[in-house]
């Protein structure tokens, strides 16, 4: 009762803010100004009040979880007396209702920072930006309070709750949803800024800078969330991979792609005032795709690993998504004449042109992935045919598109603005290209795979080119006698050098992706003592241990791994039965080396055909036979290493860039004829 009331209070203040903020604005001589600042102040405070209310509601839910208040149905559904503290904490967002509350809360926090902080750069966008976040919060809040209330009381108060789904009991699942939600919800603020910019026609440098700042954070969270989600899928779900092109995974990828495109494309507007329509479009697209993602996962339209049970709230999200898309793009079309610039691309070989192609590739990839994701929906709606789009489709698109993007990432930094020459680019990249060829040609011949060699060639090209540019920058600084050249490089041009690091990380990840070409797997049934070989390793199944702990029956198999007679490791995969959840849950055993992962699943037992009695899981000890499913996953290590590199590079760019670019000493107002030595080039 109190919980739902708090959510509704938040909705009330959100509605107030959405009305008060634009009411404080007045249009004078074609320019929007704040006519009644006290009203805007009140609206800003209302947004903070929204965040305060949602914070209280969230704390209340955590309180209920930690005090095991099973009079609340949600608490009884997702936790039990035996649930460990960390998982009681993460049970908050483990199911639909709580995750919606989390969404609202994070959105409200972002909005409060946006509206509450006193920053002159954001001020022009508050009047028309607050209603955008306000209406968003209002919609999601009402849906939560009225249709998906986590504080709904239990009809019958149980003695103990059901407990947290064992699949969700892993460290990854504690962080993965909040990270992703911080990504999704955060894109509402750049949307608000874009809408405000369109209404007030402030679409120049000030819009860009604020929008860029506000896109960077959710972009980082989405990226990190996707990587963690992949790591969780790999270590917990046990199908042997880390990315299945699941609709829910795509739901996070799509806004991320749009946001990445924007972060790149904004550089062109900043430098040359071009691609203004593109930039607004990309921000709108990112925000719309984020809402689309939540619509997909919550409406139950597509069956996948993550989808919550079917629920009528899907139609509310669809309506909101339609409204947000129409308003945003409507405004864009309305302001089109204002956004168009007189600038034109001077040459197809130029950095502007490279960024334009970059935009096209990113948007193209986004559209094709989106199409593949919703194709089942469309065909079912139109023809009644039920089909599913599998990973081969997505892999087939993204491999060539990805390679093109990587090549572009290598070319971009080495082609000048306005006009460059192909010969100069080739000259600059011949070193990295030579390195790439030197590495991949022997590899390709030895491993006899053209696809693998091509992808690795592109990845090494990008890695070598990025490293070469970093080295070049450090070298020139050292030549001018700068004290710490590396730090100076990152501090004066954080965007550039952080960008090189990120590209380097992506290149490394791509090598990891390429390893998939040589994936193999096998299934083996073994009695205790049996030996078998696979992928050049020798295995021996030692025994199967059975034990019982409070909330599960544990079956643990002991498997020795050797190579050439030398024992490398002992792996202990498990197959456990949770009485409350009626499903077996595997603990995967993985042996990781930079070259490959050995991924061992205890798949189960096999019917005992001597005597005809089926060998069930509970009788595995008597039967003694187990079934192993073993994957060889080459180069997966580099996916995680590259991801870490990219995240570090992004953080470096963010943090190092906090320092203002070194301000020049105030020049005496120079007459234009005077030769002023640039003070900013130190």
Partner 1 sequence: MDVVALTVVLIGLAAFVAAPLYRPRLPSAGDPGRTASLVARRDALLRALRDLEADRRSGLVDPEVYEAQRTPLESEAASVLRALEMGEATDVRS
Partner 2 sequence: MQVADPPALQAPPSGRRLKWALGIGLILAGIGGLGAWAIASPDALSYYRTPSEIAAAAPDPQTRVKVGGRIVDGSLVRDGSNVRFLVTDGAHEVEVHYSGEVPDTLQEATDAIAEGRIGRDGVLVADRVLAKCSSKYVAEDHPATTG
Of the two residues 208 and 263, which places its CB atom closer to partner 1 in the complex?
208
Does 655 interact with partner 2 (rule: CB under 8 A)?
no
Of the two residues 394 and 500, which places its CB atom closer to partner 2 in the complex?
394
Does 621 interact with partner 2 (rule: CB under 8 A)?
no
Does 503 interact with partner 1 (rule: CB under 8 A)?
no
Does 535 interact with partner 2 (rule: CB under 8 A)?
no
CA distance 214 to 193: 9
Helices (H), 415-539: 422-447, 450-479, 485-492, 494-514
Could you tell me if 294 and 187 are in contact, meaning their C-beta atoms sit under 8 angstroms apart? no
Out of partner 1, partner 2, none, which partner does residue 29 contact, by CB within 5 to 8 A per kind? none
Read off φ and ψ for residue 537, nearest 5 degrees: -105, 155
Segment interacting with partner 1 (CB under 8 A) among 1-9, 188-196, 238-246, 356-364 = 1-9
Q: Please state the closest distance from residue 372 (CB atom) to partner 2, in A.
A: 7
Write out the H or E segment, with its range, that includes residue 587: strand 583-587
Out of partner 1, partner 2, none, which partner does residue 121 contact, by CB within 5 to 8 A per kind? partner 1
CA distance 251 to 369: 10
Write out the H or E segment, with its range, that includes residue 677: none
Q: Which two tokens stand for residue 62?
A: 């955590």
Of the two residues 16 and 513, which places its CB atom closer to partner 2 in the complex?
513
Segment interacting with partner 1 (CB under 8 A) among 8-16, 231-239, 514-522, 609-617 = 8-16
CA distance 9 to 144: 13
3-state secondary structure of 592: strand
Task: Show the CA angle centred on residue 214, arms to residues 503 and 95, nearest 5°.
Answer: 90
Q: Which two tokens stand for residue 104?
A: 């609202």
From the list 11, 14, 46, 464, which residue makes contact with partner 1 (rule: CB under 8 A)? 46
Site string for partner 1, 427-466 (x = CB under 8 A): -x--------------------------------------
Write out the H or E segment, with its range, that includes residue 372: helix 351-383
Does 34 interact with partner 1 (rule: CB under 8 A)?
yes
Residue 385 CB contacts under 8 Å (≥ 6 apart), including other chains: 379
Read off φ and ψ for residue 5, nearest 5 degrees: -60, -40
CA distance 176 to 236: 13
Could you tell me if 517 and 510 are in contact, meaning their C-beta atoms sit under 8 angstroms apart? no
Q: Buried b vs exposed e over 205-219: b needs ≥16 C-beta within 10 Å?
A: ebbbebbbbbbbbbb
Q: Which two tokens stand for residue 443?
A: 């590899």
From the list 123, 160, 380, 543, which residue makes contact with partner 1 (rule: CB under 8 A)? 123
Does 31 interact with partner 2 (rule: CB under 8 A)?
yes
Q: Which two tokens stand for residue 38?
A: 């006290």
Could you tell me if 31 and 92 are in contact, meaning their C-beta atoms sit under 8 angstroms apart? no
From the list 400, 416, 664, 667, which residue makes contact with partner 2 (rule: CB under 8 A)? 400
Read off φ and ψ for residue 29, nearest 5 degrees: 55, 40
Site string for partner 1, 214-253 (x = CB under 8 A): ----------------------------------------
From the list 206, 538, 553, 560, which residue makes contact with partner 2 (rule: CB under 8 A)? 206
Does 204 interact with partner 2 (rule: CB under 8 A)?
yes
Site string for partner 2, 546-585 (x = CB under 8 A): -----------------------------x------xxx-
Does 153 interact with partner 1 (rule: CB under 8 A)?
no
Of the two residues 293 and 498, which places its CB atom closer to partner 1 in the complex?
498
Site string for partner 2, 233-262 (x = CB under 8 A): ------xx----------------------
Segment interacting with partner 1 (CB under 8 A) among 47-55, 311-319, 339-347, 450-458 = 47-55
Length of the chain: 682
Could you tell me if 365 and 398 are in contact, meaning their C-beta atoms sit under 8 angstroms apart? yes
Residues 143-202 binding partner 2 (CB under 8 A) are 200-202
Q: Please spell the DSSP secondary structure of 400-411, one letter per residue.
A: HHHHHHHHHHHH
Does 604 interact with partner 1 (rule: CB under 8 A)?
no
Chain centroid offset of residue 326 CA: 25
Segment interacting with partner 2 (CB under 8 A) among 55-63, 228-236, 311-319, 396-404 = 396-404
Out of partner 2, partner 1, none, which partner does residue 492 contact, by CB within 5 to 8 A per kind? partner 1
From the list 38, 160, 523, 622, which residue makes contact with partner 1 (rule: CB under 8 A)? 38
Read off φ and ψ for residue 651, nearest 5 degrees: -65, -40
Smallest Cα–Cα separation from 429: which of 404, 453, 401, 408?
Answer: 408
Out of partner 2, partner 1, none, which partner does residue 365 contact, by CB within 5 to 8 A per kind? partner 2
Out of partner 2, partner 1, none, which partner does residue 667 contact, by CB within 5 to 8 A per kind? partner 1
With tokens 């997966």, the residue in question is 636
Question: What would you measure as the largest C-alpha separation in the chain, in angstroms?
Answer: 102
From the list 35, 154, 606, 647, which residue makes contact with partner 2 (rule: CB under 8 A)? 606
Q: Please state the closest distance from residue 142 (CB atom) to partner 2, in A.
A: 29
What Å distances lie between residue 518 and 513, 515, 521, CA to CA?
10, 6, 10
Does 392 interact with partner 2 (rule: CB under 8 A)?
yes
Does 271 interact with partner 1 (rule: CB under 8 A)?
yes
CA distance 406 to 664: 36
From the list 223, 240, 293, 473, which residue makes contact with partner 1 (rule: CB under 8 A)? 473
Report helix angle 96-116 to 126-147, nearest 10: 160
From the list 417, 518, 532, 581, which residue makes contact with partner 1 (rule: CB under 8 A)? 417
Does 9 interact with partner 1 (rule: CB under 8 A)?
yes
Out of partner 2, partner 1, none, which partner does residue 37 contact, by CB within 5 to 8 A per kind? partner 1
Residue 316 CB contacts under 8 Å (≥ 6 apart), including other chains: 139, 143, 147
Does 346 interact with partner 1 (rule: CB under 8 A)?
no
Q: Please state the closest distance from residue 292 (CB atom) to partner 1, in A.
A: 31
Out of partner 2, partner 1, none, which partner does residue 607 contact, by CB within 5 to 8 A per kind? partner 2
Does 610 interact with partner 2 (rule: CB under 8 A)?
no
On the CB side of 137, CA atoms within 13 Å amount to 39
With tokens 């750049």, the residue in question is 190
Q: Please state the closest distance from residue 617 (CB atom) to partner 2, in A.
A: 5
Q: Please state the closest distance from residue 13 (CB atom) to partner 1, in A.
A: 7
Write out the H or E segment, with its range, that includes residue 189: helix 188-200
CA distance 279 to 269: 8
Binding positions for partner 2, rule: CB under 8 A:
31, 124, 200-202, 204-206, 239-240, 272-273, 341-346, 348, 356-357, 360-361, 364-365, 367-368, 371-372, 375, 385-390, 392-394, 396-397, 400-401, 521, 523, 525, 575, 582-584, 603-607, 609, 614, 616-617, 627, 629
Binding positions for partner 1, rule: CB under 8 A:
1-2, 5-6, 9, 13, 16, 33-39, 41-42, 45-46, 48-49, 52-53, 56, 120-121, 123-124, 202, 204-206, 208-209, 270-271, 414-419, 424, 428, 469, 472-473, 476, 492-493, 495-496, 660-661, 663-664, 666-667, 669-670, 672, 676, 678, 680-681
């Amino acid at each position: 009762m109190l919980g739902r009331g708090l959510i509704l209070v938040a909705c009330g203040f959100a509605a107030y803010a959405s009305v008060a903020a634009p009411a404080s604005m007045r249009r004078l001589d074609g320019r929007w100004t704040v006519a009644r600042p006290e009203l805007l102040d009140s609206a800003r405070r209302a947004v903070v009040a929204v965040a305060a209310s949602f914070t209280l509601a969230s704390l209340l839910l955590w309180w209920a979880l930690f005090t095991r208040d099973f009079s609340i149905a949600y608490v009884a559904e997702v936790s039990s007396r035996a649930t460990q503290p960390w998982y009681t904490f993460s049970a908050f967002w483990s199911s639909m209702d709580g995750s919606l509350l989390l969404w609202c809360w994070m959105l409200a926090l972002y909005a409060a920072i946006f509206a509450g902080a006193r920053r002159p750069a954001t001020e022009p966008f508050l009047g028309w930006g607050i209603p955008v976040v306000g209406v968003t919060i209002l919609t999601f809040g009402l849906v939560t309070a009225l249709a998906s209330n986590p504080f709904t009381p239990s009809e019958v108060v149980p003695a103990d709750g059901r407990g947290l789904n064992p699949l969700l009991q892993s460290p990854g699942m504690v962080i993965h949803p909040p990270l992703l939600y911080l990504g999704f919800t955060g894109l509402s603020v750049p949307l608000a800024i874009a809408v405000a910019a369109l209404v007030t026609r402030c679409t120049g440098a000030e819009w860009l800078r604020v929008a860029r700042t506000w896109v960077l954070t959710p972009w980082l969270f989405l990226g990190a969330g996707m990587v963690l989600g992949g790591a969780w899928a790999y270590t917990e779900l046990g199908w042997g991979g880390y990315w299945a092109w699941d609709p829910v995974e795509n739901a996070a990828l799509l806004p991320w792609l749009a946001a990445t495109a924007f972060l790149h494309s904004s550089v062109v507007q900043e430098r040359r005032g071009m691609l203004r329509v593109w930039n607004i479009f990309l921000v709108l697209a990112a925000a719309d795709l984020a809402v689309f993602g939540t619509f997909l996962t919550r409406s139950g339209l597509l069956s996948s690993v993550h989808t919550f049970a079917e629920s009528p709230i899907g139609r509310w999200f669809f309506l909101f998504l339609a409204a947000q898309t129409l308003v945003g793009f409507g405004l864009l079309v309305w302001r089109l004449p204002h956004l168009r610039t007189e600038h034109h691309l001077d040459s197809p070989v130029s950095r502007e042109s490279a960024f334009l192609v970059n935009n096209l590739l990113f948007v193209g990839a986004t559209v094709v992935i989106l199409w593949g994701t919703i194709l089942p929906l469309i065909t079912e709606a139109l023809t009644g045919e039920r089909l599913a789009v599998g990973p081969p489709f997505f892999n087939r698109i993204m491999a060539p598109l990805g390679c093109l993007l990587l090549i572009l990432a290598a070319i971009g930094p080495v082609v000048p603005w306005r006009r460059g020459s192909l010969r100069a680019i080739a000259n600059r990249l011949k070193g990295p290209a030579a390195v790439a060829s030197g590495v991949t040609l022997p590899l390709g011949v030895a491993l006899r795979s053209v696809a693998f060699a091509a992808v690795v060639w592109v990845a090494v090209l990008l890695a070598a080119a990025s490293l070469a540019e970093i080295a070049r920058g450090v070298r020139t600084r050292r030549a001018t006698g700068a004290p710490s050249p590396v730090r100076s490089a990152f501090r004066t041009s954080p965007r550039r050098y952080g960008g090189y690091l990120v590209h380097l990380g992506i290149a490394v990840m791509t090598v990891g992706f390429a390893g998939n070409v040589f994936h193999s797997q096998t299934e083996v049934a073994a009695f205790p003592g049996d030996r078998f070989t696979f992928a050049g390793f020798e295995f021996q199944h030692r025994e199967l241990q059975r034990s019982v702990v409070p909330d599960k029956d544990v079956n643990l198999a002991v498997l020795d791994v050797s190579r050439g007679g030398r024992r490398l490791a002992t792996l202990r995969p498990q197959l456990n039965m949770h009485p409350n959840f009626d499903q077996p849950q595997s603990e995967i055993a993985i042996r990781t080396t930079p070259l490959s992962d050995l991924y061992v699943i205890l798949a189960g037992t096999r019917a005992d055909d001597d005597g005809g009695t089926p060998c069930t899981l509970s009788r595995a000890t008597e039967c003694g036979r187990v079934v192993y499913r073993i994957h060889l996953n080459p180069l997966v290590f580099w996916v995680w290493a590259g991801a870490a590199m990219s995240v570090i590079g992004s953080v470096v760019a963010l943090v190092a860039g906090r320092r203002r670019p070194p301000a020049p000493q105030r020049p005496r107002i120079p007459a234009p004829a005077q030769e002023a030595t640039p003070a900013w080039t130190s």
